[in-house]
Amino acid sequence: MDNIYVTGMEFYAYHGAFPEENKLGQRWYVDVTLGMDAKPAGVSDDLEKTVNYADVYNEVKAVMEHEPVKLVETLCERIAAKILESFEIVELCTVKVMKPDPPIPGHYDSVAVEITRERS
């Protein structure tokens, strides 16, 4: 299986378990890895035989900037489902959602959840 990576996507959204997160919003970062057979596109140089990276970004953006949810896990599930629904060529999808500024005291880079889902 081959992989396409779309990483470091940044959004400002209103997700979180606390009311102030839903009101004030915060930065979010999303990475996706799309498992697929890239050979047909690679040998033909045909965009129709692969995944358009701009379309991937737009699908992730639609989830991130839509209805607020409480859990990072929920965002991951919704993004993975959207990608598998939107791109038939994708067999496997890994989604990592990072929250760099959660309301948790202490020193750290971010909190994150990563999931992998396969087409059933």
* Strand order, beta sheet including 26-36: 2-13, 26-36, 92-99, 111-118
Rounded to 10 degrees, the C-alpha dihedral 74/77/82/83 comes to 140
49 is catalytic: no
The answer to whether the beta carbons of residues 18 and 103 sit under 8 Å apart is: yes
CA distance 84 to 93: 7
Catalytic site residue from 49, 70, 96, 99 = 99
Amino acid occupying residue 84: L
Give catalytic residue positions.
99
